[in-house]
């Protein structure tokens, strides 16, 4: 019972390589894609859309997003993007961006 509850509450994501190997030609309702924001790929177009590339250093996925951008969103940093995978355009139309913080964070020393 505990394992079933744990499994239902876990949020998995696919890497760009997983997405290509399992869903290369399938358009999906919703997908969670995780990886790094490729350096030099972030562009904001004239319609205020954010365009960027998520990579796992092997494959790359183009992402299009309109909305709130987390303050931790940066090129070269980890990100999880939730949205619809449109295989024929090699595009993930994102509805949410979850920026990952540095895993090596240590709190400041107490005064």
Q: Is 46 helix (H, G, I), strand (E, B) or coil?
A: coil
Residue 17 lies in a domain: yes
φ, ψ for residue 16 (rounded to 5)? -55, -40
Q: What's the pTM? A: 0.78
**Which tens digit of pLDDT belongs to each residue from 38-76?**
999 999 988 889 999 999 999 999 999 999 999 899 999
- Split into its structural domains, the chain has a count of 1
- Torsion (CA) 69, 97, 76, 18 in degrees, nearest 10: -160
Confidence of residue 107 (pLDDT cuts 50, 70, 90): very low
Residue 67 lies in a domain: yes
CATH of the domain at 43: 2.40.50.140
Pairing between strand 43-44 and 50-55?
antiparallel
Helices (H), the chain: 2-9, 16-23
Rg (CA), the chain: 16
């Amino acid at each position: 019972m505990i394992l079933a509850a744990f499994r239902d509450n876990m949020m998995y994501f696919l890497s760009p390589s997983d997405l290509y190997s399992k869903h290369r030609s399938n358009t999906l309702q919703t997908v969670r894609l995780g990886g790094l924001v490729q350096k030099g790929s972030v562009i904001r177009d004239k319609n205020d859309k954010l365009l960027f590339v998520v990579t796992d250093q092997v494959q790359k996925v183009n992402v299009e997003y309109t909305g709130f951008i987390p303050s931790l969103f940066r090129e070269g940093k980890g990100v999880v993007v939730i949205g619809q995978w449109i295989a024929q355009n090699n595009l993930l139309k994102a509805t949410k961006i979850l920026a990952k913080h540095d895993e090596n964070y240590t709190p400041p020393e107490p005064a």
